[in-house]
């Protein structure tokens, strides 16, 4: 791809360094880190720590926020270099899907519907009345239950289990070992007995959702557990029954969402953080790592701590916490007086 063409696709301005003798139509074929990028590759700088490499990179072009005099190679100027680099990487990367076709070692129910240009590896199970869209890839060991629906261009990696009646949108990626639609943790406790509450709902994933390895998305007790379009979940995220995750949320590893909580759109949660059941988190909230949200959040912004408080309040509390022994001594001295 020519540089001028790439600039147009990602919405960047092509700037040539002083004295650069070549034209703006150099061909690029790949992306690479700035430290090791070579001729024919595109790289980027978004962290100031990496500007030191601009003067010596061998890349054909560098995506940056603003021109740098030290850079001796063509620059693609973009307000968000990291985002622009991600879009660039998609132009040169194609996910592995293996040979097209359906293995004769897969089990497919006679009344299942299989779309066009599908890849089904050996030892895949597809249940009765399942509907598999076009260009779907099912890796070895995938189990698709009865009445499951999977949209076009979705990739499901090895040993994923999708329970009966769940629905997965188009262009989704589900990584190895994830479980979609297992029973939610629903029980009623009486005198001397624990009674299981039947979990008769399902799970619905929107389009362009990605689940990391070994995520667990519980089916609803009634209705649907929802993960809306564009949301991304890291490895080992637990989503309880009847949870609603809004659009374009990002949940880091080991996040736990208790039953019936609701996340708005564009919510970000750091690793090991969690949300209590039956509470709402508003659009645009940012939950820090290891934070426990035990009551609803109504204002966007950063939240940290257990229980979660606004980040600025938490930082102020930490300063006072470090001074507790000093405060104690001063209080004792005042009491003596």
Catalytic sites, residue numbers: 241
What are phi and psi for residue 9, nearest 5 degrees? -65, -40
Which residues have CB under 8 Å from 88's CB, separation 6+? 6, 10, 31, 42, 44, 63
Task: Say which residues have a Cβ less than 8 Å from residue 317's Cβ, sequence separation at least 6.
Answer: 305, 309
> What residues pair up with 302 in beta bridges, in sequence order?
286
* SS3 assignment, position 276: coil
The CA distance from 37 to 43, in Å, is 7
Question: Cα–Cα–Cα angle for 329, 334, 337, nearest 5°?
Answer: 130
SS3 170: coil
**Residue closest to 212 by CA, chosen among 239, 187, 185:** 239
CA 192 to chain CA mean position, Å: 42
What's 219's DSSP letter?
P
CA 239 to each of CA 165, 204, 242: distance values in angstroms, whole numbers, following the listed order: 17, 12, 9
């Amino acid at each position: 791809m020519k540089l001028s063409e790439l600039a147009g696709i990602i919405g960047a301005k092509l700037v040539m360094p002083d004295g650069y003798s070549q034209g703006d139509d150099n061909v690029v074929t790949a992306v690479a880190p700035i430290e090791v990028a070579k001729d024919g590759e595109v790289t980027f700088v978004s962290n100031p720590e990496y500007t030191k490499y601009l003067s010596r990179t061998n890349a054909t072009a560098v995506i940056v926020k603003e021109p740098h005099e030290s850079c001796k190679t063509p620059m693609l100027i973009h307000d968000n270099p990291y985002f622009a680099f991600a879009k660039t990487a998609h132009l040169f990367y194609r996910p592995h899907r293996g040979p097209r076709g359906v293995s004769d070692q897969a089990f497919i129910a006679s009344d299942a519907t299989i779309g066009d240009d599908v890849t089904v590896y050996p030892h895949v199970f597809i249940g009765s009345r399942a509907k598999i869209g076009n260009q779907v890839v099912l890796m070895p060991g995938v189990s698709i239950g009865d009445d499951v629906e999977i949209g076009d261009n979705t990739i499901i990696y090895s040993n994923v289990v999708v329970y009966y009646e769940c629905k997965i949108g188009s262009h989704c990626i589900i990584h190895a070992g994830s479980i979609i639609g297992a029973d939610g943790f629903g029980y009623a406790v009486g005198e001397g007995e624990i009674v299981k509450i039947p979990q008769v709902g399902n799970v619905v994933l929107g389009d362009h959702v990605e689940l990391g390895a070994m995520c667990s998305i519980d089916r609803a007790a009634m209705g649907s557990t929802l993960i809306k379009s564009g949301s991304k979940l890291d490895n080992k995220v637990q989503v309880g029954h009847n949870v609603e995750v809004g659009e374009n949320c990002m949940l880091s590893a080991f996040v736990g969402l208790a039953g019936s909580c609701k996340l708005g759109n564009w919510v970000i949660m750091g690793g090991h953080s969690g949300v209590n059941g039956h509470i709402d988190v508003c659009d645009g909230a940012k939950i820090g790592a290891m934070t426990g949200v035990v009551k609803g959040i109504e204002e966007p912004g950063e939240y940290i701590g257990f229980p979660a408080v606004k980040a600025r309040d938490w930082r102020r509390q930490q300063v006072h916490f470090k001074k507790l022994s000093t405060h104690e001594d001063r209080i004792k001295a005042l009491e003596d007086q």
